[in-house]
Amino acid sequence: MTQEIVFYGANNPETARMIRACESTQDVRFVGFLDGDAEKQDKPYLGLPVFGGVEKVPELAAQGIKFVNLITRDSHTRYTTSKEIARLGGEFANLVHPSIDLFMVELGVGNYLQEGVIVQAGCRIGDNSSIHMGSLIGHETVIGSSTFIAHGVAVSGCVTIGDGVFIGAGATIVPRVKIGNWAIIGAGAVITKDVPDGAVMVGNPAKAIRQQENLPACGSPYV
């Protein structure tokens, strides 16, 4: 039976290419969008309807439709939005470009992996995380939930990345380091040692420039 899916976030035209690639190779059909911007609601985006905001989740979920969260601007917004969709009864599906080899990879639910991502054997990815085009995830790396990895990031083998982490474009993570929950890694940063929870890291080698306070809860947003 074909699984119908609704996206949250009517913003990125790249979604049209993901739709085309996935519908041509997988038993899925993408039926529309939700978005919190009232100006986008009740108007088509990429040829699909924007049904409304999260208030439409119960109605759509009752039809057996699942959800994919496309928000990537920051990990906290991604986490809270998915948590609200789940609270309203929404269930999540993965959006994975069909070119990505996930053999010997453990993948949770609600993840968004774009074209050109390489995830090597032995990796584990939690729920509600997003990895963008051309990023490399080395063998046996563990990625938590609600983490965002921007394009062109190189994560070496045996790295541990916590929940809610944001890693900017072109960053490099050396082998076997641990990145704490809700850390922010700046674009182009080179992480050479462990990063504590909530640290904001920039530079090469990366150094902490700020420590975030009042960090959100950790774990999957679905529980």
Average pLDDT of the residues of the chain: 96
> What gap in Å lies between CA 184 and CA 198, rounded to an integer?
7
User: Considering just the CA atoms, what is the radius of gyration of the chain in Å?
Assistant: 17
Residue 186 has pLDDT above 90, yes or no: yes
The three-state secondary structure class of 157 is coil
Nearest to 218 by CA among 167, 164, 177, 142: 164
> What gap in Å lies between CA 23 and CA 220, rounded to an integer?
27
Domains and CATH numbers, the chain: 3-93 (3.40.50.20), 96-211 (2.160.10.10)
* Chain Cα centroid distance, residue 38: 24
User: What is the predicted pLDDT for the residue at 1?
Assistant: 84
How confident is the model over 145-168, as pLDDT tens digits?
A: 999 999 999 999 999 999 999 999
Q: From residue 155, how far is each of 134, 138, 172 by CA, in Å?
A: 11, 6, 6
For the chain, what is the largest distance between any 2 Cα atoms, rounded to a whole number of angstroms? 51
Give mean pLDDT, residues 93-114. 97
User: What is the predicted pLDDT for the residue at 223?
Assistant: 80
> 209's torsion region: left (phi>0), alpha (psi -120 to 50) or beta?
alpha
Residues involved in catalysis: 139
Determine contact, residues 30/10, Cβ cutoff 8 Å. Answer: no
42 pLDDT band, cuts 50/70/90, is confident
CA angle, residues 75, 145, 217, in degrees to nearest 5: 70
Residue 205 CB: number of other CB atoms within 10 A? Answer: 12
User: What is the predicted pLDDT for the residue at 11?
Assistant: 93
Give mean pLDDT, residues 4-32. 96
> What gap in Å lies between CA 139 and CA 142, rounded to an integer?
9
User: What is the predicted pLDDT for the residue at 205?
Assistant: 97
**Neighbour order of strands in the sheet with 124-125:** 106-107, 124-125, 142-143, 160-161, 178-179
Nearest to 123 by CA among 220, 172, 135: 135
CA dihedral 76, 139, 125, 1 (to 10 degrees): 130
Q: Evaluate the omega torsion of the peptide bond into residue 44 and state whether it is cis, within 30 degrees of 0.
A: no
User: What is the predicted pLDDT for the residue at 22?
Assistant: 96
Q: From the DSSP assignment, how many helices (H) and strands (E) are in the chain?
A: 3, 23
Give mean pLDDT, residues 40-65. 96
Determine contact, residues 195/202, Cβ cutoff 8 Å. Answer: no
